[in-house]
């Protein structure tokens, strides 16, 4: 029997295939595999509780690899601060990390929004040749927009 959750995952699989989004495809394959082998009662609660943290750790490790390999060192750091582009990049990095923090809270408190964020990402990839950067930063931007809308609505109420 095909459950609604499995059907939903299969639809996401199809959209991921259309969008050629490997991250979505791999994620759905993993989730379908967990369901197929009936491990969902044990694995899903763990992934729901710790998955975002594990993902952030993996991304952080990937970003720090050039430092660990010696490709980026203190000389490159000192050289880069002479460029105003580097200062813009520094501020942008700080901004998205700050915004993503609120996205993490939003996803933890309103996980149903993840579906809308994933669908928005897939639509942007399919129709606008966008790049899937993940739901965390999208959630952070959504959180900022929600706060702005709430503030405006408060002014007019």
**Model confidence pLDDT, tens digit, residues 45-85:** 999 888 878 888 898 899 899 999 999 999 988 888 888 88
Note the pLDDT of residue 61: 94
Q: Any residues with CB less than 8 A from the CB of 17 and at least 6 apart, and which?
A: 25
- Is the CB of residue 6 less than 8 Å from the CB of residue 32? yes
Instruction: Round to whole Å and give the CA distance between 33 and 9.
Output: 11
What is the mean predicted confidence (pLDDT) over 90-96?
87
Does pLDDT of 5 surpass 80?
yes
Q: Is the pLDDT of residue 93 over 90?
A: no
State the average pLDDT for the chain. 86
Indicate the SS3 state at residue 90: helix
pLDDT of residue 4: 93
Distance CA 58, CA 56 (A): 5
10: confidence class by pLDDT, cuts 50, 70, 90: very high
Return the DSSP state at 38: T
What's the whole-number mean pLDDT along residues 130-146?
A: 81
User: Residue 28: what pLDDT?
Assistant: 92
User: Is the pLDDT reported for residue 140 higher than 90?
Assistant: no
């Amino acid at each position: 029997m095909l459950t609604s959750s499995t059907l939903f995952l299969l639809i996401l699989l199809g959209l991921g295939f259309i969008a050629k989004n490997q991250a979505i495809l791999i994620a759905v394959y993993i989730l379908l595999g967990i369901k197929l082998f009936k491990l969902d009662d044990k694995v899903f609660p763990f992934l729901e509780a710790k998955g975002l943290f594990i993902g952030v750790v993996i991304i952080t490790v990937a970003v720090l690899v050039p430092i660990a390999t010696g490709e980026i060192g203190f000389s490159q750091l000192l050289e880069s601060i002479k460029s105003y582009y580097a200062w813009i990049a520094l501020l942008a990095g700080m901004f998205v990390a700050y915004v993503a923090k609120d996205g993490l809270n939003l996803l933890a408190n309103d996980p149903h929004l993840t579906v809308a964020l994933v669908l928005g990402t897939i639509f942007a990839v399919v129709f606008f040749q966008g790049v899937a950067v993940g739901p965390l930063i999208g959630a952070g931007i959504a959180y900022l927009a929600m706060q702005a809308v709430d503030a405006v609505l408060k002014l007019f109420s």
